[in-house]
């Protein structure tokens, strides 16, 4: 199974969500699930936002090697779940041909440009939302 977390620039929310999901899946012994992230408006291989790196480091996750990447159309058929950060990301995925029954929305506002505290709040909101996704969709505790 493949899960792709999707946001706008792939420097804040989706890489944090993918890293959190990988950590939670590893703890649950679910090595059968591939997790990645991508953005809908990516123009280069940018690093994760510095506050995202710091907020994730506080929970033992290293995002320093992350580089943003754009969603590729050739990924659409091979991805089982697209986890969008907002309804607008979900709408863009639907417009690209992704079936709505393969899209899950986390409803996480964009912390881009915010303080470290804003990124901590985003990280915590993402963690809670990823827990909900894994429990609802994958029956993973």
CA-based nearest residue to 130, from 33, 39, 9: 33
CB 42 within 8 A of CB 6: no
CB-based burial of residue 58 (10 Å sphere; 0-12 exposed, 13-18 middle, 19+ buried)?
exposed
Task: Give all strands (DSSP E) within the chain, no chain letters.
Answer: 2-7, 34-39, 81-84, 103-105
Query: What distance in Å separates the CA atoms of residue 95 and residue 134, rounded to the nearest whole number?
Result: 25
CA-based nearest residue to 61, from 79, 48, 70, 42: 48
Active-site residue list: 7, 13, 110
């Amino acid at each position: 199974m493949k899960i792709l977390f999707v946001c706008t620039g792939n420097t804040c929310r989706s890489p944090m969500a993918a890293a959190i999901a990988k950590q939670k899946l590893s703890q649950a012994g679910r090595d059968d699930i591939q997790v990645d992230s991508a953005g809908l408006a990516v123009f280069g291989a940018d690093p994760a936002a510095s506050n995202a790196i710091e907020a994730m480091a506080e929970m033992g996750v290293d995002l320093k090697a992350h580089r943003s990447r754009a969603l590729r159309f050739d990924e659409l058929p091979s991805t089982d779940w697209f986890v969008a950060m907002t309804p607008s990301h979900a709408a863009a995925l639907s417009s690209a041909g992704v079936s709505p029954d393969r899209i899950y929305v986390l409803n996480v506002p964009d912390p881009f440009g915010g303080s470290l505290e804003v990124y901590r709040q985003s990280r915590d909101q993402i963690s809670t939302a990823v827990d909900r996704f894994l429990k609802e969709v994958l029956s993973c505790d």
